[in-house]
Amino acid sequence: MWRLASRPDVAVDVASAGLACCSLEVEAAGQRGLLVASETVPQAAAVTVLVVAGTVTTAVEPALVRLFDEHAQHGPVIIVSFGACATSGGPYWDAPTVRPGIEALFPGQEIASYVPGCPPRPEALVVELERLVDSRIPA
């Protein structure tokens, strides 16, 4: 469970699926203080975001689907594709074991955001999390 450093009132449960170099950028967001760890967040305040960061292979596909299903049991899950590999397969798009994007992994689920880059910067993750949370808060 995290809080956005720029918005301490916003709790985000980031179910990070770090699969390659993009996952280091997700971790860097925490290390740089852009995300602040928090264990005492009321469930109603939390937004669950599944950040798929990096190359998705056929071998890790079942684990990603299982992670999504586990979090979906507790409420809605916002899916973010973080980086070129999660979005389109990146430079490995033509490898036989690499999935060319995550859309097919979550049928019927909208991918809420595609954060571009190879890898994207930690600030890009935080800006996108802020945007997603703002777009879901009723006016």
pLDDT score for 62: 94
Other C-beta atoms closer than 10 Å to the C-beta of 44 total: 7
Task: Please tell me the total count of domains within the chain.
Answer: 1
pLDDT score for 76: 84
Give pLDDT tens digits for 45-72: 566 788 898 899 999 999 999 989 988 8
Indicate the pLDDT class of residue 139, thresholds 50, 70 and 90.
Answer: very low
Pairing of strands 77-82, 111-115: parallel
Which has the higher per-residue pLDDT, 10 or 118?
Answer: 118
pLDDT score for 24: 87
The rounded distance, in Å, linking the Cα atoms of 56 and 54 is 6
Coil/strand/helix, residue 137: coil
Residue numbers of the domain that contains 17: 2-42+50-120+127-136
Q: In this structure, what CATH number is given to the domain that contains residue 17?
A: 3.40.50.12280
Give pLDDT tens digits for 68-119: 998 889 888 889 999 999 999 999 999 999 999 999 999 999 999 999 999 9
What is the DSSP code string of 37-87?
Answer: E-S---GGGEEEEEEEES--BTTTHHHHHHHHHHHHTTS-EEEEEESHHHH
pLDDT score for 37: 82
Average pLDDT over residues 17-44: 79
Task: Give φ, ψ of 68 to 5 degrees.
Answer: -60, -50
